[in-house]
Structure 1
Amino acid sequence: MSTLDDLPLRDELVGQRPYGAPQLDVPIELNVNENTHGLPGEAIADIAQSLHDVIAGLNRYPDREFSRLREALAGYLGHGLVADQIWAANGSNEVLQQVLQAFGGPGRSLLSFTPTYSMYPLLAAGTQTSWVAVPRAEDFTVTPEVAAEAVRAHRPDVVFLCRPNNPTGTGLSLEVIEAVYDATDGVVIVDEAYQEFAGPDAPTALSLLAGKPRLAVSRTMSKAFAFAGVRLGYLAADAAFVDALRLVRLPYHLSALTQAAALGALRHSEALLANVESIRAQRDLIIRRTRELGFAPYPSEANFVLIGGISDPQATFTALLERGIIVRDNGIPHTLRVTAGTPTETAAFLEAFAEVASPMAADS
């Protein structure tokens, strides 16, 4: 049997590994930041009916411009946005890939502040865009001054700002976004996949879009909407920015089923988002309890917690898995990341974690 070494891969793909967290059949899955609360019954019924209604027409291509969906997403986001300022694709990863296809590529570069979402360098490699990683501060924060200096020094064509940051949960001020935008002639993408978990009154980069044609804000329905299995990500930007993405999208890239399911979900956005506050409460409980146990959880504005100060993360990961609980080892020393689950899942995790994990010594 042949291997990748036997194939004429592009140079930048040699040695790469595909993205993927372990997919294991365990009772408690807290490793990929899914919304563990699921969909309410009324939303399920409406989505099922919406899918039923389009099945008879599946012999025809779907609406290439997904006009109704764009209108509904604009209405959900608010901030005076209209349909022409909205784009969507099969998950926010595809949206970001399309951004790099349009604005990155050979001879161009993508900059972000690390550690951050592990798909960014993979998307860069897949589009032949150079990857520029700028380290965050020890507490994973980024200041406007540091961000602007890095952008001026490296002169990237594209900047990705993950807000809240994955895998650390760290917030990012609007001042950082403005400083980065002013320091570059390239495009700036603010990845707000976890924005809803920051709180109902939390500031959003959507408020900065007016008058900034090179700024875009990406979102997803996978997290707060509990819609990970549908794969619907979207972006808000100037209408001309959206037109640029049309140049690289595949024809009819959003299926009729995806469009129907997303429209059904948006009709029930209030019910779907009702669990966000409960998830935030579980997140804060994980932070509080693990701190009491002697660990060093980082502040989080997302639906997960990066727990620091673990003496042996790999042993802890394995011990939790043996108890039917899977979390995430992102490779950051002495840390594990855990998704905020249901109250039952959170309680089970905290009980097991207290039994199997050991904090680092104070002088380590």
Structure 2
Amino acid sequence: MRGSLEEARAEGLKRIEASTDLASLEEAQIRVLGRKAPLSRARASLRDVGDQDRKELGMLANEVQVAIQSALDRKREAFEAQELEQRWASERVDVTLPGEAPPVGAIHPLTRTIWEIVDVFVGMGYKVYEGPEVELSSYTFDALNTPKEHPSRSPSDTFYIEGKGDAVGLRSHTSPVQIRTLEIEPPPVYGVMPGRCYRRDEEDATHLAGFTQLEGLAVDEGITMGDLKGSLLEFARNVFGRDLDVRLRPSFFPFTEPSAEMDVLCFVCRGEGCRVCRNEGWIEIMGCGMVHPFLLEWVGWDIEKYTGFAFGMGIERVAALAHGVPDIRYFWENDLRILSQFRGPA
């Protein structure tokens, strides 16, 4: 019996010493202390030993188990220390190194363009006004001298609210804000009106069914067409610089008289003609003109005393010109490959 216990001690210590990691140590523990281990079998045989030797052999069996358990604990501590050291080595962080910068967003190019244009006109003394996108037709058309038979009032051109006939619809321009402003503000009025507009346009590189517009209005004593030209040239110099030419050509709008269109040289073909400019070499950027006396009479202003000018532009077109984007639909596709190119200070 004594020999069996000493043999169990030697075999157990040998298996423990031969362990190379925690997994093999756990396996060794099962083999030297498990129910089928030599030590467990020897202890089970103690019941067959006489009373005189049982006490002595029982003390030896306890001594062997303590020795094996101590060897297991020492080996486990060594392996755990080694594993911790390896983890520290592999997961060590040098706090003096610069961190990984998280992705940083940016102001949307259309918002940035609105701010840039607004800054230009605020610098000339204008205020910013806003109005509802769902608008009464009396403001969208009637107050703006638009005849009942005008094509823009057709359901094929304007989005009307279901159940309201043609009395309420999505505004097709921000001009209604001009009327609302003239109704509540005392003269003189100098204002810009940015906002979303909606038309039943076929979408292409220069047209959208839902788009952003910014209009301007100046009404005061002695306002002339020369003031309009000077204001728009100041705007063009600040937004487009001198790389692209601009031109004013006669036009017609029900709410201005005389009226004009301001065009910008095509940013793709530089005047040669392409699909973006429809082979014209120029892209229409805004309509403008002197405020029609009808509008001033509608809001009760003295047309003998006050005159004014107004203009309106598509923000998508201005942004496309300013940044060389060939298709204004890119601004609304939420493609980060495109939008990420407009990062920078607001």
TM-score, scaled relative to structure 2: 0.25
Which one has the bigger strand percentage? Answer: 2
TM-score, scaled relative to structure 1: 0.24
Tell which structure's C-alpha radius of gyration is larger: 2
Greater relative contact order: 1 or 2 (C-alpha under 8 angstroms, separation 6 or more)?
A: 1
